[in-house]
Amino acid sequence: MGDEAIVTWGLTKRYGSTLALDGLDLSVKRGEIYGLLGPNGAGKTTTIRLLLGLIRPTSGAARVMGYDAWRQSVQAHRHLAYVPAELSLWPQLTGGQTLELLFRLRGGDGRAGAGRRYMSELVERFQLDPTKKVRSYSTGNRQKLGLIAAFMSRPEVLVLDEPTAGLDPLMIQVYRDCIREASDRGATVFVSSHVLSEIEAVCTRVGLLRDGKLVDEGPLDAMRHIAARRIRATFSGPPPELSGLDGVGELVRDGNRIECFYTGEIEALVSRLAGTGLVDLICTEPSLEEVFLAHYGEGHPGREFDSAGMNASEWTPESAGADSGPSR
Ligand SMILES: Nc1ncnc2c1ncn2[C@@H]1O[C@H](COP(=O)(O)OP(=O)(O)OP(=O)(O)O)[C@@H](O)[C@H]1O
Ligand SMILES: [Mg+2]
């Protein structure tokens, strides 16, 4: 076995006329935290289900810790733990009973030991009430249970499908700490998300999936260019010129307001805006679909961004596109 935890070759899944995953070639080294980023319907869950051997590839293959994901799924599963996007559990058991059952299924015994201590520690850190029945758990609590179950088994490979969906910010922090701990002890993590900041926070390498295809891939540092921000600024008078400032795109002016897509340094933007009568500044993360349209979209990205990203109630059609044109 090489130093790769997960490898896929031309991994393809077709559902009737839908090509859910189209020839995915992927290689994740042991100890890496790999983020698969893609908008809804990109093929993230399909990829993960193929890696887990839950569905059979139409063509191509995947290996997890050296085992064929479909034909040797039993062996592969000895090395991995996963949290699906929608977790089905025994509704009549309490959270604590569920964890105990999963702990024993994983080979843990009834005595107190390091494994059991880690389980209790995780329950505490995720602030899960283990005495409640699983059917009464909220979405977030079910998600926490799934994460505790996955982390407590200290697997060599963790496969997580949109793990932070339903978690509040405090719990997202606990989740991120757990990912780092798993990574520190040498585990490989494969995590999917449609939120860029989520992947940025934990991953060392990122793959961008769109319409079943890997459109870009690289170490996080090399992918910073996709970390755009949407900027909305309001001024007491006419807005200043932003031409010449690197990273400004799809600029739209509307009276005393401007809105743009920005990939440059925030500090450079803020210094340009300082002293120009700035009265309000909103800086948000654009949706992944907007980022994709701007970077990998067909045709003129500005136009598509205008229609996809502008709020019609705030931005008049005349002003939209009046000063547009990506500088990238
Ligand atoms: N069992 C299925 N039968 C038919 N089509 C499917 C099936 N599962 C997935 N698809 C289709 O395959 C494509 C990829 O779906 P997938 O669930 O992998 O996307 P995703 O990236 O996980 O999206 P999301 O962010 O919404 O979870 C979609 O077009 C979806 O409709
Ligand atoms: Mg999904």
Do 126 and 262 lie in one domain? The reply is: no
Ligand 1 atom, smallest distance to 16 CA: 4
Is the domain of 285 the same as that of 147? Answer: no
289 in ligand 1 pocket by Cβ < 6 Å? no
Residue 108 belongs to a domain: yes
* Cβ(327)–Cβ(247) below 8 Å: yes
Indicate whether residue 46 lines ligand 1 (CB < 6 A).
Answer: yes
Distance 314 CA to ligand 1 centre (A): 34
| Number of helices and strands in the chain (H, E) | 10, 14
- pLDDT per residue, tens digit, the chain (328 aa), is 579 999 999 999 999 999 999 999 999 999 999 999 998 999 999 999 999 999 999 999 999 999 999 999 999 999 999 999 888 889 999 999 999 998 888 776 666 677 788 999 999 999 999 999 999 999 999 999 999 999 999 999 999 999 998 899 999 999 999 999 999 999 999 999 998 888 888 999 999 999 999 998 998 877 766 777 889 999 999 999 887 888 888 889 999 999 998 888 889 999 999 999 999 999 988 777 777 776 666 533 333 333 333 333 333 333 333 333 333 3
- 147 CB contacts (<8 Å, ≥6 apart)? 83, 126, 160, 163, 175, 178
**Total structural domains in the chain?**
2
Q: Is 260 inside a domain boundary?
A: yes
Residue whose CB lies within 8 A of the most ligand 1 atoms, among 14, 46, 48, 213, for a mutation test: 46
Is residue 242 one of the residues assigned to a domain? yes
Query: Is 128 among the domain residues?
Result: yes
Whether 168 and 236 map to the same domain: the answer is: no
Among protein residues, the one whose CA lies closest to atom 3 of ligand 1: 15
Indicate the residue type of 105. L
In this structure, the residue with its CA closest to atom 10 of ligand 1 is: 20
Q: What are phi and psi of 235, to 5 degrees?
A: -120, 160
Q: 57 CA distance to ligand 2 centroid (A)? A: 17
Judgement on whether residues 234 and 298 belong to the same structural domain of the protein: yes
- Closest C-alpha residue for ligand 1 atom 6: 15
What's the pLDDT at 148? Answer: 96
Residues 188 and 169 in one domain: yes
Q: CA nearest 26: which of 42, 41, 4, 45?
A: 4
- Separation CA 17–CA 9 (nearest Å): 22
Ligand 1 pocket check: which of 36, 45, 54, 192 to mutate, most ligand atoms within 8 Å of Cβ? 45
Q: Can you tell me the distance from the alpha carbon of 127 to that of 96, in angstroms, rounded to the nearest whole number?
A: 12
Contact 190, 31 (CB under 8 A): no
Q: Is 49 in the pocket of ligand 1 (CB under 6 A)?
A: no
Domain match, 16 and 81 both: yes
- What residue numbers bound the domain in which 208 lies? 4-223
Entry pTM: 0.81
Ligand 1 close to Cβ of residue 42 (< 6 A): yes
Question: Is residue 103 domain-shared with residue 206, that is, in the same domain?
Answer: yes
CA nearest 254: which of 211, 317, 206? 317
Q: Is the CB of 43 under 6 A from ligand 1?
A: yes
Beta carbons of 61 and 8 less than 8 angstroms apart:
yes
Give me the sheet containing 67-68, strands edge to edge: 18-29, 4-15, 59-64, 67-68
Q: Are 187 and 157 in contact (CB under 8 A)?
A: yes
Of 54, 55, 72, the closest CA to residue 63 belongs to 72
| Calculated CA dihedral for residues 191, 196, 199, 205, nearest 10 degrees | 90
Distance 46 CA to ligand 1 centre (A): 6
CA dihedral in degrees (328, 210, 66, 84; nearest 10)?
120
18 Cα to the center of ligand 1, angstroms:
9
